[in-house]
Homo-oligomer: A and B are copies of this chain.
Amino acid sequence: MSERGERPTLEAVARLAGVSRATVSRVVNGSPKVAEPIRAAVRRAVEELGYIPNAAARSLVTQRTDSIALVLPESASRVFSDDPFFPSIIHGVSQELDAANKQLVLMMTNTVGGYERVERYTTARHVDGVLFASTHGVDPLPGQLHRLGVPVVVSGRPLGRSPVPYVDVDHIGGVRKAVRHLLDSGRSRIATIAGPQDMVAGIDRLAGYRAELQGSDRRSIVAVGDFTRESGATAMRQLLEDDPLLDAVFVASDLMAHGAITTLRELGRRIPDDVAVVGFDDFDISRFTDPPLTTVRQPILELGRELARQLLRVVAGDDVPSSVVLPTELVVRASA
């Protein structure tokens, strides 16, 4: 191994193997048009010197960086320590990028100047593509990058009209199954704790609830939270004030469902006997609540992987099915 700072270059390998730089480059990059004996000699020289290509030099000429940015929005930090959503996304993305030999550059917009940093960094093409995780409201950046020709894929259908390809899960379908389950088990006063109405996940899950209830003669009872446990607890309290006789609640996130369960217990309601509770997410933790939570599973890891796969496809220049919606599934446990 070489000492600090004196890494072998293509030149050195070429000299040792007795060939030109171009030939070494061909071998290193797997070009087929190199005679076998020469290829072997080069391989040996590479091995001997412990040669590893300099990424900066390569990027400079190829205009590729072999790295992908994953941008997490401001809100991510708020829930980061308690909400396994972003970790799972990261994990899924990482799996696919690893397999494709791309690097994952993580960026958060939560810190001071975060938005400008991300904007500069991504428009400067320091990365080959950009992934956005669940943006709040209307974030102009994905569209802007898309227009500049930077490969972009976002998680969650963007609000408003947007040409940016996305990957999302079937919120509405999942919620409808959940509400149907409550109806089928004879519940008659079914409330919901919705998510923030500036996020597609919040909007769609409420829409699903409304859609399924529409078919029945039940009226909707709605409170809104922000996906945190605390907001779930508060919203539940409010819901019970609105209708003390409600016998079921669909909660738009598991964390909020946990909060709701805490409130229900404090107020002496038995679950599911008095009030049935269904969540949305299927976080690991929900198997361990008391009672274990019935919930709609969304495949978060898979969402991350699909996100990465789509982006890699765009980066590679393949045409992309503009968007993907992954299925959700009702997981019935004891709470409903």
Contact = CB atoms under 8 A, between A and B. Distances in A.
A108 B98 contact: yes
Please tell me how many copies of the chain the complex holds.
2
Interface stretch (A41-49, A188-196, A280-288): A280-288
A90 interface: yes
A57 interface: yes
Contacts of A237: none
Contacts of A229: 288
A296 B327 CA distance: 40
B288 A258 contact: yes
B52 A120 contact: yes
Contact of A52 (B105, B108, B124, B284): B124
The contact size tier of chain A is 35 or more
A316 interface: no
A35 interface: no
B84 A81 contact: yes
B84 A82 contact: yes
Contacts of A120: 52
A94 to B, nearest CB: 5
B94 A87 contact: no
Interface string A241-262: 0000000000000000010001
Contacts of A53: 124
Nearest to A56: B59
21 contacts: A4-B148, A5-B149, A7-B124, A7-B125, A52-B123, A53-B124, A54-B124, A55-B124, A56-B56, A77-B91, A80-B87, A80-B88, A81-B283, A81-B284, A82-B284, A86-B87, A98-B111, A99-B112, A103-B105, A104-B105, A105-B105
